[in-house]
Chains A and B, each alone.
Chain A
Amino acid sequence: MDHQYVSNLLLAVPLLPLLTALVLLLAPLFSINLPKIAISVLAVGSIAMAALCSLLLNSQLSNGLDTSFSTIFGNWIHVENFSVSFGFYLDSLSLVMISIITGVGFLIHLYSVGFMDQDKDYQRYFAYLNLFVAAMLILVLADNLLLLFLGWEGVGLCSYLLIGFWHDKTNNNLAANKAFLMTRIGDTGMAIGLFLLFFQLGSLDIQQIQINAMGLWPLDQNNTAFNFDMVTICCLLLLSGAVGKSGQLPLQSWLPDAMAGPTPVSALIHAATMVTAGVYLIARLHGLFELSPLAMQCVAAIGAITLFIAASAALVQNDVKRILAYSTISQIGYMFLALGAGAFSAAIFHLMTHAFFKALLFLSAGALIYCMHHEHNIFRMGGLAKKLPLVCVCFFIGCAALASLPLMSGFFSKELILESLLDKHMYGYWLVAITGAFMTAFYSFRLFFVIFYGKNNNEPNTQPGKLMVIPLSVLALLALFGGIQPQGLIDLFTTTADKPDTHSIVIVIFTIAVPLCAVVFSWFQFKKQVFGGDIQSSVLKNIHKFLYSGWGFDWFYQRVFIRPFIEGTHFNRNDVIDFFYKALTNISQWLHRFLVQFQNGQLRWYGGSLVLFFTAALTYLITNS
């Protein structure tokens, strides 16, 4: 492996989108008007080049004997024994990630050229999107946690900017603020976790941390009790960052609102890449998390609860993008569950297939919305199978992969997660996961049937353009045949995986049969016109309302955090601390009014007071000497 060559490639991958983003951002400042075609070529071309570079890196790493490669481009901070460098670390995990980011990113950029064609802020859109890709690449390539945190905050910023992209609508800005603030809660925990890790281990280098941690906090195999020790605290703090970014319980409520952004943004940021950053973080630090059984248990529990709550909320939504958003939360819940079970390679595998089929679903949804006069409500669509055949096929492939029907890409990854749960004897979690799988298949085919079958309510006014069709087709192929687990991932995490048991054939058939049953069940419910119909029973109506609001988390947070805070601020309207400063100004003003009388500008007064003073002073001196 030629060191210099690989190092240059590695540097080019995040730098190309970054430079393009800077050009697109700064050009208006120097009043350079780029023509639309130039913007498209720059934006899409840079991601295409980055994708090419990561393809070359793929071939380099698979040819070479080394499994990892690290390179340092420069020093960032160096203070006494605290040293942070601009260094990239490439192994099969980050390789899979950069391939997803640049590959899916390229397709979504291409799609955006068609989708955003009519938008007046074309240049700003691509500037933000390229900046996002650059930040995400820095996040996954960073060899130390501080550089990772830089990318982490960078993607958060771009997410904020793109959710509120159409900023002339107040609701979009509110959604952007909500996303930013809720992820910030998690990030605060993560930052404290970084401080604590450095304080304890004296390094922020990812590999060094894990080696040091193994020495400092050895895992006691015999001790099965869950200790709340230092490593657990560090892991839980990092987990809070991951939870915020990945939309997991209890910080999940920003993700459905984040759908206010343009649909390709939802596909790239809020489905395929950014929201999976939390999964990446835990997989990247798997050596640390494995030292704390309690933290692993927390990861699994959060994943399981989230996947159940989000899947059940997705059952009753009527906005196509909100359904997909809840489904994303639920699928990331699967990844967290797999991480918590120690099946890191299965989690990353699911991350990969999820990126393919969820990007496909979002882009098809975008094409639907584009062709249907910006209609989001699925009950105002219907019967579109004949009208938009290509979108229908793509949507079907996406739904099938999401529902993990046999031989789809999602099937292999979800099966792997379910299997590894059984391997670890986590039967309770397995039960939750299989229930979730049933609900997933049910809501995805509810979505499909309602949009593409039944009676036609609304005519499409246009067909998707060629630039939108090509990425859709490529992603459809990936969602169909992308179910091949990268060999490098299995090798990377071998030390952690147990040898696979063989399961009884009944369980295997059962797990395959569950989604199929759900699809059939969904078809019969659709035929009976249950979806979108009126609900008679008041109990069911309340349950529907409860699920529709995403288990009432927004209501709960409003009551528990926001309202008391606002009341507190009202109570403290006349700032208590201000009393002191107000007294200070009052005293000085009073003194001013008193002393200004002596400065009357009359010369004879000044002279008189001079004489008076000197006479008095002399008298005093003479009488006392």
Chain B
Amino acid sequence: MMITEQAMLFFSLALFSIGVYGVMVRRNLIFILISIEIMLNAVAVLFVAASSYHNNSDGQIMYLLVLTLAASEAAVGLGLVIQMYRRTHTLDVDQLSSMKG
């Protein structure tokens, strides 16, 4: 069964919107990080879909790149989160606002 391009686009958009929604409404830093991963994967799915639509393997290579990027981003992000927790004993972003002007 062929999946249509439109379905892929909608799927990707839905996934991205879920991610954005998560970033906006979640308080916990770890959930925000997970939401960002979801957004990244939405983009990756779009890459693969576009690659199969155009019969061009560039998008799939791009997907591999996004994959490594996501892995390293998760590693750095989680490290930062652990440090943040050690220092402030909270992961509530509403309280972590010491950078305000």
CB of B97 within 8 A of CB of A607, answer no
The interface residues of chain B lying within 8 Å CB-to-CB of A611 are: 20, 24
Q: Mark B34-49, 1 if CB is under 8 A from A, else 0.
A: 0000000000000000
Interface centre among B23, B25, B94 (most CB of A within 10 A): B23
Is residue B100 within 8 Å, beta carbon to beta carbon, of the partner chain?
Answer: yes
The interface residues of chain B lying within 8 Å CB-to-CB of A596 are: 101
Count of interface residues, chain B, beta-carbon cutoff 8 Å: 13
From the candidates A598, A603, A608, name the one contacting B96 in the complex (CB within 8 A).
A603
The interface residues of chain A lying within 8 Å CB-to-CB of B101 are: 595-596, 598-601
**Size class of the A contact interface (CB-based, 8 Å):** 10 to 19
CB closest residue in chain B, given A607: B23
CB closest residue in chain B, given A595: B101
For the complex, what is the distance from the CA of A601 to the CA of B95, rounded to whole Å? 9
State the Cβ distance, A293 to closest chain B Cβ, in Å: 76
CB of A604 within 8 A of CB of B24, answer yes
CB of A604 within 8 A of CB of B93, answer yes
State the Cβ distance, B85 to closest chain A Cβ, in Å: 16
CB closest residue in chain B, given A596: B101
**Overall SS of chain B's interface:** loop
For the complex, what is the distance from the CA of A595 to the CA of B100, rounded to whole Å? 12
- Residues facing B in A601-616 (CB within 8 A) are 601-604, 607-608, 611
For the complex, what is the distance from the CA of A596 to the CA of B98, rounded to whole Å? 14
Q: Mark A377-409, 1 if CB is under 8 A from B, else 0.
A: 000000000000000000000000000000000
The interface residues of chain A lying within 8 Å CB-to-CB of B7 are: none
Interface centre among A595, A600, A601, A608 (most CB of B within 10 A): A601
CB closest residue in chain B, given A611: B20
CB of A602 within 8 A of CB of B24, answer no
CB closest residue in chain B, given A598: B101
CB of B98 within 8 A of CB of A608, answer no
- Residues facing B in A118-150 (CB within 8 A) are none
State the Cβ distance, B19 to closest chain A Cβ, in Å: 11
Q: Mark A472-515, 1 if CB is under 8 A from B, else 0.
A: 00000000000000000000000000000000000000000000
Q: List 20 A-B contacts (CB under 8 A).
A: A595-B101, A598-B101, A599-B100, A599-B101, A600-B97, A600-B101, A601-B96, A601-B97, A601-B98, A602-B94, A602-B97, A602-B100, A603-B32, A603-B93, A603-B96, A604-B23, A604-B25, A604-B93, A611-B20, A611-B24
Which residue numbers of B lie inside 8 Å of A, CB to CB?
20, 23-25, 32, 93-94, 96-101
Extra A-B contacts (18), CB below 8 Å, given A602-B100, A604-B94, A611-B24:
A595-B101, A598-B101, A599-B100, A600-B100, A600-B101, A601-B96, A601-B98, A601-B99, A601-B101, A602-B94, A604-B23, A604-B24, A604-B25, A607-B20, A607-B23, A607-B24, A608-B24, A611-B20
